[in-house]
Amino acid sequence: MGSKFSKIGFVLAVAGSAVGLGNAWKFPTLVGQNGGSAFVLLYLVLTLGVAFVIFLAELSIGKLSEKDPVNGYKTLAPTNKKTWSMAGFTMLGAILIVSFYSLVIGWVVKYMYFSATGNLSQTLEESEKQFTNLLLNDFLSQFICFSLIFLIVFYVVSKGVKNGIERLNVWMMPTLFILLILMLFYALSHTNGFSEALQFLFVPDFSKISGTSILEALALAFFSLSLGVGTIITYSASLPDKTNFITSTLNIILINILIGLMMGLIVFTFIFEFGANPNQAGPGLIFISLTTLFAKLGIVGYILGATFFLSLIFAGITSAISMIEPFAFYLINTFKMSRKNALILIGLIVYILGNLCILSTLSITEFKILGMSFFDVLDYISGKIIMPLGGILAAIFVGFVMKKKALEILFEPYMSGVFFKVWYFFLRFIAPLAVIIIVINAFK
């Protein structure tokens, strides 16, 4: 990425990467499918105890090497440089993610269009039909919306991440936040649904937790903070000096959790208020619940809906950009490719994979691998295999391979000695072990 971010630019870029459809789409869906509160609690514990710890490890690799993931590992490894550089290739996981992620942003585009043209359904059943119809039968809309997002995302990356993102995020984040607060107030006025949603999200019931749901919570914590696929390493390579990155990281994590919880409260209030089952709607949960809400509000709802979906599109785009940059940065550094050529190559892969995702959910072409659609396969491999692997490798590398002295110098201005010791201990022992146990437990 070359030059450095401005201080606020770095925070905005990382927050822009973290906040996205993970909060608005994955979080409520997974909470619904995994029984609510106990899953939320697990997610919070894993975010602070594992993801936060690994986040700082990835940040250290980026900041100390000022390189892309592959060259970053290579530069910092005292020995076995070639072997360690392989760990950087977990960044390819982000290319898998951006392929299906851009399609989901495409669905949001379609819903913005539905809102703007007053085409939302009044009942949950109708909304559910509308969503299934988009996925099963409407190739053209998905193709157009996906292609549009694809072009925008690659256009912004081609202009250089720093300029593009900084301007976008300054507006996008506050708008999304204000809209969420407005919607939360409206949710509050539906006392029954709201109190059921509160209970569903915050009164833990551990009977619903299984090995697979623990892995889901871990994968969500990684996904939500953009970990394990090179994004944080790459953005931290441009972290300006003398930035208190501990406070920045904590703020980003807090905002990220807050937005997820607000989304969850809003979505579930209306799911309960309209008498639906939180577990049934699947990936369409937010589209189904929120559109019904917007439709019930009439003209105000349509305006609110269109603005809300627009800000989600922006949130998604800033995340998608951060998935492409690591691989682009690597190609530019290693093969001296021009940014344009690197992006043409990556674009080709993403465009093909994305279109395969569309085809894989259509009822006429539906193709499955081991019973999963191609869309779900990409989601599964990236989220449950590559991200945890990338996280463990970063933890082991920073905890056992890199020189401790360099870390102490990096952290000293912003972290007390005790805090450093606790972090270092978690990094070496707790985080990798937790990830390994969770993954093995889910697969056994």
Site for ligand PFF contains 322 (CB under 6 A):
yes
Under the binding rule (CB under 6 A), the answer on residue 55 touching ligand PFF is no
What DSSP character marks residue 5? P
Kindly determine how many residues on this chain lie close enough to bind ligand PFF according to the rule CB under 6 A.
16
Which residue carries 């936060």 as its tokens? 52
In this complex, which beta carbon is closest to ligand PFF, that of residue 166 or of residue 196?
166
What is the token pair recorded at 57?
Answer: 């490890």
Q: How far is CA 388 from CA 78, 83, 264, in A?
A: 24, 19, 24
Q: Site for ligand PFF (CB under 6 A): which residue of 319, 355, 360, 373?
A: 319
> Cα separation of 87 and 188, whole Å?
47
CA distance 5 to 390: 24
**Pairing relationship of beta strands 372-373 and 368-369 according to DSSP bridges:** antiparallel
Cβ nearer to ligand PFF, comparing 312 with 396: 312
Interaction of residue 120 with ligand PFF, rule CB under 6 A: no
| Binding test (CB under 6 A) with ligand PFF, winner from 53, 64, 94, 153 | 94
Q: Is 222 exposed, middle or buried (0-12, 13-18, 19+ CB in 10 A)?
A: buried
Q: Cβ(441)–Cβ(213) under 8 Å? A: no
**Strand pairing partners for 373?**
368
Q: Locate the DSSP E strands across 105-167.
A: none
Judged by CB under 6 A, the residue of 9, 11, 17, 153 near ligand PFF is 17
223 binds ligand PFF (CB under 6 A): yes
By CB under 6 A, is residue 307 in contact with ligand PFF?
Answer: no
Q: Which of 21, 61, 214, 265 binds ligand PFF (CB under 6 A)?
A: 21
Whichever of 223 and 329 has its CB closer to ligand PFF, that residue is 223
The pair of three-digit structure tokens given for residue 280, joined into one six-digit string:
């049934």
Count of residues making up the chain? 444
The CB-nearest residue to ligand PFF is 22
Binder among 224, 292, 311, 361 for ligand PFF (CB under 6 A): 224
**Residue 391 lies near ligand PFF (rule: CB under 6 A):** no
Does residue 22 touch ligand PFF according to CB under 6 A?
yes
Binding mask 225-254 for ligand PFF (x = CB under 6 A): -x--x-x-----------------------
- Cα–Cα distance for residue pair 24/297, rounded to 1 Å: 21
- Report if residue 104 touches ligand PFF, rule: CB under 6 A: no
Which residues make up the interface to ligand PFF (CB under 6 A)?
17-18, 20-23, 94, 97, 223-224, 226, 229, 231, 319, 322-323
